[in-house]
Structure 1
Amino acid sequence: MKTPLYTIALALFFASCSSDNPKDKKATLEKLKKERTELNGKIEKLESELGQTKKKDDFKDVAVTELAEMHFRNYVEVQGRVDAEENVDIMPEVPGTVTAIYVKAGQRVNKGQVLVQLDDKVLKQSVAQLQTQLDLATTVFNRQKNLWDQKIGTEVQYLTAKSQKEGLERQLAGLKSQASMSKVKSPVSGTVDAMDLKLGQSVAPGSPMGIRVVNADRLKVKALVSENYGGKVNQGDEVSISLPDVPENLNARVSFAAKMIDPVSRGFNVEVKLPSNKKYRPNMVAILKIIDYSNDRALVVPVNAIQKSESSEYVFIAENGKAKKVNIKTGKVSDGKSEVLSGLKVGDKVIVTGFQDLNDGDSVKL
């Protein structure tokens, strides 16, 4: 009985393939599959009535996965780099010539520590001269004050002496402040990462001196995220960080997400703070997987186990030794797995291997 029926089905199939319209071919194929399923059912019924049983070879070997609720995460994956929160190129505040260098590359320094001394001979001489004038003005003021306290002399004499003394004090303070700028100090605590300065070299404000101090204890990962994820990625989101050069993986949270989209790159910056670790270095490559969707009670199936027709998606499940076709609705896809929103339930055995040539109702062996 099988031969005539399959011959008719094949004839219909080849006749339908004469059409050049892909949609017509797909529709015909779906129709033929449905007819084949119905024919298989009728054949099985007649074989059962005639007392015929299937041979062992009629069973198809399959592998299944039993569904259970699990954690499902969807990621936005971007590449970034490690950066130091305190990474400073030292610049002088005043022009001058380098007369002394107190540190070398690799040395640990503290905030405010003097790194370099610039020539300050002229300023020192000016300070000494002004100090002499201030000492004289102070002596005159003290004597004038004693006379004024005894009601001797005029108030104008007292106020003039006071004004001269205070004026010289302010000038001296300003000159000492200027002199202190000749001592180039570290604005942060950290390690001297570069030292390209030489004795006798002239430096000027606004130009790097060739000294860089990096605080490797305060590092972060910076990355640019496409504007497409502007509504999904926010400060506080969970993120998985992979550092291929270490190698190491760690979990953290987004510490900063910019609100403005860059008009050139069409993206926005995100930052994630890193824990202190001697292995981490600025400018290392970092892969960020920012979680933009989470479901702690999801049903998940491998993406390759899902088949598609024109109107639906479906999988095969093993039930009572038979393959059963089940239409499903899928959600997010991540790491080769798809979230199933409807169509399946906990305990269903989804066929993940051997489903390619299956039909609804075929006998299967796990």
Structure 2
Amino acid sequence: MKAIVKKKRTRGMEFVEVPAPRVGLKDVLIKVKVASICGTDVHIFDWTRWAQHRFLPPRIIGHEFVGNVIKIGDEVTQVKIGDRVSAESHLTCGYCYQCNNGYSEVCKNFKLLGVDHDGTFAEFLVLPEHVLWKNDSHIPDEWATIQEPFGNAVDTVLAEDVSAKTVLILGAGPIGLFATGIAKACGASLIIISDPNDYRLAIGKKMGAHSIINPRKQDVVQTALEVTRDSGIDVVLEFSGNNQALNQGLKAITPGGRISILGIYERRVHIDLNKDVIFKKIRIYGITGRKIFSTWYKTSRFLSSGLVDPSPVITHQFSLKDYEKGMKLMKDGRCGKVILKM
């Protein structure tokens, strides 16, 4: 089969032919239809500091997809041939303390699809049946493939209620843009997006943002205070992984407010813990992955019901062999979500 493989501990990847995967007793063989590129994949392509400490080549990359089951192992009971599936990217153990206490998204022994287990940028994929998600027939392939990152946005937004709240979204990458649509669907009274990329800010307006801020042109904190009549922001959602943006969010948040942080930081962050957190009595949520599988139900319902239309975020489509075009667009910031068709 054809696949995108990270072979060496250097920048780049290769589109090559590799052996098709074997199916174990509890495994399922899937013919991938559509996959999508994540920022994690770009980090692996560029061989960033994070990738150098987390990724061990050789490995087929990718963790977002939709496809059809074409073969099942002898002990598989929950899916059948022909099912259209996606998958939770955290391959959990099912027996550690976290898994047994309802926190399998932080399983001590998890393997990450496309990092520790061969991924979705391939014609065929083998996964254990316990991580599979059967897709609603009302959700098209182009939307089904983005459910994994969409779920990140769901958990970031809905760590607490946002109805009638003011919301500041830091970072207008695809997940921040999905979060905009989710916050709107959940009744946020004011949604502000901050990002230095005007292309993505324009998408944010389409997804329901009431106000956009380019921090290279405007003061984020001052603008947030002005539009809230000096009350400050009720809910800050941090997707950027940028230390400066984090500090802007902490200064803009109202005392007693909350911040949810999904952004990943390349280096240690510096904040005024006393002034911006403790004395303001704010609540901080660290978000990783999705709640397995409760978030998937919410994601599916947001998409199948039409509450959120992610189409404005899905800006480009390429064939698998042209993946480098998508990687370049991602690095240049001239896209929303990029999908790859087999």
- Per the normalisation by structure 1, the TM-score is 0.20
Higher relative contact order (CA 8 A, sep 6+): 1
- TM-score, structure 2 as length reference: 0.21
Between structures 1 and 2, the one with greater strand share: 1
